[in-house]
Amino acid sequence: MSEVSVTPEPTTVRPEIHVRADTAADGAEEAEVVLDVDQLSVYYGAFRAVRGVDLKIRRSEITAFIGPSGCGKSTVLRCFNRMNDLIPGARVEGTIRYHGIDLYGDQANAGEVRRRIGMVFQKPNPFPKSIYENVAFGLKVNGIRDKAEIEQTVERSLKRAALWDEVKDRLKTPASGLSGGQQQRLCIARAIAIDPEILLMDEPCSALDPIATTRIEDLMQEIKVDFTIIIVTHNMQQAARVSDRTAFFTTEINEESDRRTGVLVEFDRTEKMYSNPSDIRTENYVTGRFG
């Protein structure tokens, strides 16, 4: 019943891409681990929202987090770029290591973390500025002042986000004039302009129509060469289409407090998760028996 579709070949002209020195080739050898999550639990005050997550995110792969609502997928995602810091009372236990450095340790500054681990949100949130200024903002706040460099980077990012042709004649017009799908691609361009290593995408297509969704899925396949992508999605078919690995989360009801805690059920290569999962809960979810 579940099928895995073949990754489509990108048909657009590839802009100049720098190949990372240690990109592993597809095949038997596993890619390098960029994020090592060890017994991660997230608390909001006294309430444990997620418990005991163990994951390894590998370079240049697309990892999908799937699962029913409220099981902590977005919570775990937001831990990776320390956006949970913004929520009063949010607390993290366990470790998340980025190339060996603990993201929540003393060595890690939140702003620097976010510079290397970017995020695209569920609802497109372009700044109320021009298209150009949106993409340039990340560069400016990170200290890049040279106008020529900014212009080049803006153009490169918009091309990589497959938006350049549509906006090149109106870069100075407000970003709010774009359609939903264009706005989301603008947000992607904005995020990749500062050249992060990892791109977190929190249900990026849920507010978009199917055609815009397809364009963004194609885009993800194109840019995964340079960016490691983690995507949270409610759409199982989307996860099956785009991802290399899938993590399935679900909720457990705590008997005493009657509240739900999110847990990671299974994490494996996508083909295996959909065709031959190890856990019965995964099987039930992907075959549609619940959720």
Task: Measure the CA–CA gap between 248 and 88, rounded to whole angstroms.
Answer: 27
Asked whether position 234 contacts another protein by CB under 8 A, the answer is no
Distance of CA 279 to the CA centre of its chain: 25
Task: Measure the CA–CA gap between 227 and 210, rounded to whole angstroms.
Answer: 24
Single out the segment in contact with another protein by CB under 8 A; choices: 114-122, 223-231, 234-242, 282-290. Answer: 114-122
| Minimum gap (Å) between residue 163 Cβ and another protein | 17
Residue number with CB closer to another protein (195 or 218): 195
Task: Measure the CA–CA gap between 258 and 253, rounded to whole angstroms.
Answer: 6
Single out the segment in contact with another protein by CB under 8 A; choices: 16-24, 36-44, 120-128, 280-288. Answer: 120-128
Single out the segment in contact with another protein by CB under 8 A; choices: 45-53, 62-70, 125-133, 251-259. Answer: 125-133
Residue number with CB closer to another protein (96 or 263): 96
Residue number with CB closer to another protein (115 or 272): 115
> Could you give the string, one character per residue 162-181, with x where binding to another protein holds by CB under 8 A and - elsewhere?
------------x-x-----
Give phi and psi for 4, each to the nearest 5. -110, 125
Token pair, residue 235, equals: 């759409």
| Minimum gap (Å) between residue 252 Cβ and another protein | 29
Q: How many residues bind another protein (CB under 8 A)?
A: 28
| Minimum gap (Å) between residue 3 Cβ and another protein | 34
> Could you give the string, one character per residue 193-222, with x where binding to another protein holds by CB under 8 A and - elsewhere?
-x----------------------------
Of 78-97, binders to another protein (CB under 8 A) are 81, 83, 86, 88
Task: Measure the CA–CA gap between 251 and 172, rounded to whole angstroms.
Answer: 46
Residue number with CB closer to another protein (92 or 119): 119
Asked whether position 154 contacts another protein by CB under 8 A, the answer is no
**Which residue among 58, 129, 234, 272 contacts another protein (CB under 8 A)?**
129
Task: Name residue, tokens 């792969």.
Answer: 61
**What residues line the site for another protein (CB under 8 A)?**
81, 83, 86, 88, 111-112, 114-115, 118-119, 121, 123, 125-129, 137-138, 140-142, 174, 176, 187, 190-191, 194
